[in-house]
Homo-oligomer: A and B are copies of this chain.
């Protein structure tokens, strides 16, 4: 057991810090103003391509992809990338610059692990090069989708094709103008055993029968240009070769996709929390009320102290989960992966909320990233299953393990 970072890891982290300091933070305000102007809705920030080129030139590209799928990436461990994800999380759109943004990361991982050579050539390659973007169509408006057996979208074999019917929503990224491929989860066999009903299939965004109904907002944010779409799938016909891995293996793929994605989300959230704490510390050092700097009120100091404790604990927990995935795989880290999903989003909501409170009204506005951090963290408490589902399963597993060990 050892809580120190190696020298090489420290170097890599400094490199990411430098990139952020040089290329990201200086244009943060400019980016924000661009994307929130009504006339730029669903348009990509003009400087984005240039930023990507710079990142790629510095080797800061596809960092998320573990070494086993390594040719196109530097092959970091999950633990190493986790620390980078925290840094990227401080600016919500920074991950995209390094081609490390969800849901592309998860989709690239799926294609790397389970895609056929043809699928990899056609979609993984341009994704890895940042030329296209992708979405993951899982959640449905009509059912409690956290219970995957509720999923109603049908994927029916018809000759050399599959015919897909269903309604999906919260398909993040699908509003992006470059989003050209979806991974769709649906049932190929509703009568199969519980975990063999589901399959995943690749659906190009421009297929006939695919219709974007509307963008969804989170609080008042449309999160342009990424967006969260509601999408209708009506008699969408797809070549059978687009099915990933085989019929009935959707659940298996979903499980495999989970671990690293959770680490990324949680570490980005921890980045949001960490930066909120930093912003808060600065703000309370600049303002006075009732004859004292705000930083000298003991209640504010408590908020700061609690936030620091909360962040550090969640960080260690998430890093330990990443380390466990590296050593024992996602299955071996199952409980820890559930734990970080329970802990990190709520922790971030709490820390951000304290920072908003310290900022006063400004904290609610777009003059700081705080309000958008809150919206992001609050959404993650629901995405990928609400907290309640993870606690339900973790509680059950914990009882089982205790009874077994004692």
Contacts of A284 in B (CB 8 A): 399
Contacting pair A281 B139 (CB below 8 A): no
Across the interface, A386 reaches (CB within 8 A) one of B3, B221, B323, B360, namely B360
A50 at the interface (CB under 8 A from B): no
Across the interface, A327 reaches (CB within 8 A) one of B4, B300, B338, B387, namely B4
Contacting pair A298 B392 (CB below 8 A): yes
Contacts of A388 in B (CB 8 A): 297-300, 302, 357
The stretch of A117-125, A129-137, A141-149 that contacts the partner chain: A141-149
A308 at the interface (CB under 8 A from B): yes
Contacting pair A1 B319 (CB below 8 A): yes
Most buried by B among A79, A289, A339: A289
A233 at the interface (CB under 8 A from B): no
Contacting pair B371 A218 (CB below 8 A): yes
Contacts of A139 in B (CB 8 A): 361
Bound complex: CA of A295 vs CA of B2, how far in Å? Answer: 36
A46 at the interface (CB under 8 A from B): no
Contacting pair B298 A339 (CB below 8 A): no
A382 at the interface (CB under 8 A from B): yes
Interface size on A, residues (CB 8 A): 101
Contacting pair A1 B298 (CB below 8 A): no
Q: A290-B392, A302-B395 are in contact. Are A339 and B308 (CB under 8 A)?
A: yes
Contacting pair A342 B305 (CB below 8 A): yes
Nearest CB of chain B from residue A406's CB, rounded to whole Å: 6
Contacting pair B219 A306 (CB below 8 A): no
Nearest CB of chain B from residue A321's CB, rounded to whole Å: 9
Within 8 A of B (CB), among A281-318: 281-282, 284-285, 287-290, 294-295, 297-306, 308-309, 312-314, 316-317
Across the interface, A323 reaches (CB within 8 A) one of B1, B277, B394, namely B1
Nearest CB of chain B from residue A337's CB, rounded to whole Å: 12
Across the interface, A301 reaches (CB within 8 A) one of B4, B221, B392, B403, namely B392
Identical chains in the assembly: 4
Residue of B nearest to A361 (CB): B170
Q: A220-B218, A360-B386 are in contact. Are A3 and B320 (CB under 8 A)?
A: yes
Across the interface, A222 reaches (CB within 8 A) one of B5, B79, B220, B392, namely B220
Q: A6-B1, A306-B342 are in contact. Are A144 and B220 (CB under 8 A)?
A: no
Q: A302-B299, A360-B146 are in contact. Are A402 and B294 (CB under 8 A)?
A: no
Residue of B nearest to A79 (CB): B1
Across the interface, A1 reaches (CB within 8 A) one of B5, B146, B360, B406, namely B5
Give 1 or 0 for each of A214-229: 1 = CB within 8 Å of chain B CB.
Answer: 0011111110000000
Across the interface, A403 reaches (CB within 8 A) one of B3, B281, B308, namely B281
Within 8 A of B (CB), among A54-86: 79
Bound complex: CA of A319 vs CA of B4, how far in Å? Answer: 12
Q: List 8 A-B contacts (CB under 8 A).
A: A1-B2, A169-B361, A216-B361, A220-B372, A281-B398, A299-B299, A299-B301, A300-B395
Other A-B pairs, 7, CB within 8 Å; known A220-B366, A284-B399, A295-B396: A36-B217, A220-B371, A299-B302, A305-B395, A306-B391, A308-B398, A313-B314
